[in-house]
Amino acid sequence: MKTYLLVAFIFFSSLPLLAQYPFKEIRFREKTTTPFIDKKLSYTVLFKTGDTVYTDNGKWALAKGMHDMILALPGATSGNISLAVSHECNDSSTLLGDGGGMSIVPLAFKKEKWTVSDSIKNIDFTTVGGTYNNCSGTFIKEKNTILTAEEGTPSNNKVLHKKGKGYTDTSNFNGLKRFENTGWMVEVAPSSHKALSKLYNMGRFVHESALVLADGKTVFLTDDFAPSVFFKFVAKEKYNFEEGQLYAYKEATASDTSHWIKLPMQMDSLIDIRNVALRMGASFFLRMEWMTIVGTKMYITATGYDNFTMENLYNGKPASYLLPFLKNNTIDQPYGSVLEFDLITNNICVLINGGAGKKDPKKHFSNPDAITAVTKNNKTYLVIQEDIIANTRGRVSTAALAENLFVNEIYWLDLSIKNPTVDDLKRFLIAPNGAETTGGTFIEGDSRFYFLNIQHPDSRNPVPFNQSCTIVIDLKN
């Protein structure tokens, strides 16, 4: 008997440790009008479109919608936090400012529940000429500022004006045509509720996100476009992002292993920097999205694209992960990928491609967008949010397609799994019909609470999931 027990112990101790996910994987559901999660978990709605928001001079207005990024900021007192929630919109608002926006939502944790503890404040972007389609970004705790991305480069003032529903003032600003003053990274001081500056040296393109390295100088920038270029900005001085050098990524070749192309820093180049980078031979991707770092690896979501025709690429070459999808001068990568960027070697490879699972075809991972990482129960996970670009080709169920519904999911992936596939993903949440989920984040050093945004849900869903809102899920301990 003792021999058998010893053999069994050796056998089982040699097996890989299975991840202890903090939830039970939810079953496939074709559609839902509210967030669908493990029944043992709970969520609280914190902030929604139309809530009361105050300006610093005491005036109030109804909150903008299209909630996108969430950053968890230190609170005014110990144990409290504030959420910085960006608004990916171009709305007209006399009180809150035209274009996009950002709200600062103070929270207190009482009786095992997060609640709004004080007035929700508006960030004033008029100091930098307004902002546009605020997307993701990052919090720089060393100087208590936020970098927020403008995800869009409107082609003229007419697009910006939006027949009076967007920017009402389209006069020139800071030596630029007003539409040219959008599509940049913007630095914000949440404590004063004001934008500080547009970071013109980081280039004008469809900014999705920014990630600052621990050196305080290096900033990686993603471009949500097809074709997109992966950028790096290196500041001259630590945490001063107004001056520095911008680079474009180029995959290494036998004759050139430098990886980074030094870009011209004149304004006429910075305004059209993606095309400049492609002319200089940058690698191109298909819609690069959010980033998160685990150790020496950075994980980048790439949405993908249905039938991208390789035209007007100048000297740009497709990144190698796209080559298996290239046929007859067209790249058909409808489900996207999660990429792994090695911060030491600067090489990029695929962590996981989207598509249907082989073991469970109902598990269909499509068009990853927002991403974060968390360590819980001594395991590190990626938490990946979908934003499907179409509801065809298996991206939603037959029943959902029949009603022309968009249904997105959130998945967790145990990073200790070697060569993961779609079957290794664990389905954590199904979003309300029509909604993208985005902004998913945790409080630094706390893996219990997962904050996320429900963006642009179907207006037929029940309140409050008929419009954009911010919620928090309690994962327990």
* CA trace torsion 240, 241, 244, 248 (10° rounding): 150
Residue 467: partners with Cβ closer than 8 Å, 6 or more residues away? 48, 49, 50, 65, 457, 459
Q: How many whole angstroms separate alpha carbon 204 and alpha carbon 155?
A: 12
Is the pLDDT at 35 greater than 70? The verdict is yes
Which tokens hold the place of 373? Answer: 């990482």
Q: What is the pLDDT of residue 254?
A: 85
Is the pLDDT at 477 greater than 80? The verdict is no
Lowest-confidence segment of 1-5, 172-176, 466-470 by average pLDDT: 1-5
Q: What is the pLDDT of residue 7?
A: 44
Choice between 78 and 333, residue whose per-residue pLDDT is larger: 333
Is the pLDDT at 15 greater than 50? The verdict is no
Percent of the chain with pLDDT over 70: 96
Q: What is the pLDDT of residue 20?
A: 82
pLDDT in tens, 123-150: 999 999 999 999 999 999 999 999 999 9
Is the pLDDT at 14 greater than 50? The verdict is no
SS3 28: coil
Residue 275: partners with Cβ closer than 8 Å, 6 or more residues away? 314
Q: What is the pLDDT of residue 10?
A: 43
Instruction: Identify the structural domains of the chain with CATH numbers, from first to last.
Output: 32-474 (2.120.10)
pTM comes to: 0.95
Asked whether the beta carbons of 362 and 28 are under 8 A apart, the reply is yes
pLDDT in tens, 78-98: 789 999 999 999 999 999 999
Round the average pLDDT of the chain to a whole number and report it.
95
pLDDT in tens, 222-274: 999 999 999 999 999 999 999 999 999 999 988 888 999 999 999 999 999 99
pLDDT in tens, 372-387: 999 998 999 999 999 9
Is the pLDDT at 5 greater than 70? The verdict is no
Q: What is the pLDDT of residue 13?
A: 43
Is the pLDDT at 160 greater than 60? The verdict is yes
Is the pLDDT at 440 greater than 80? The verdict is yes
Q: What is the pLDDT of residue 19?
A: 55
Is the pLDDT at 281 greater than 90? The verdict is yes
Q: How many whole angstroms separate alpha carbon 420 and alpha carbon 317?
A: 27
Among residues 75, 78, 102, which one has the least CA distance to residue 91?
Answer: 102
Among residues 206, 189, 92, 200, which one has the least CA distance to residue 149?
Answer: 206
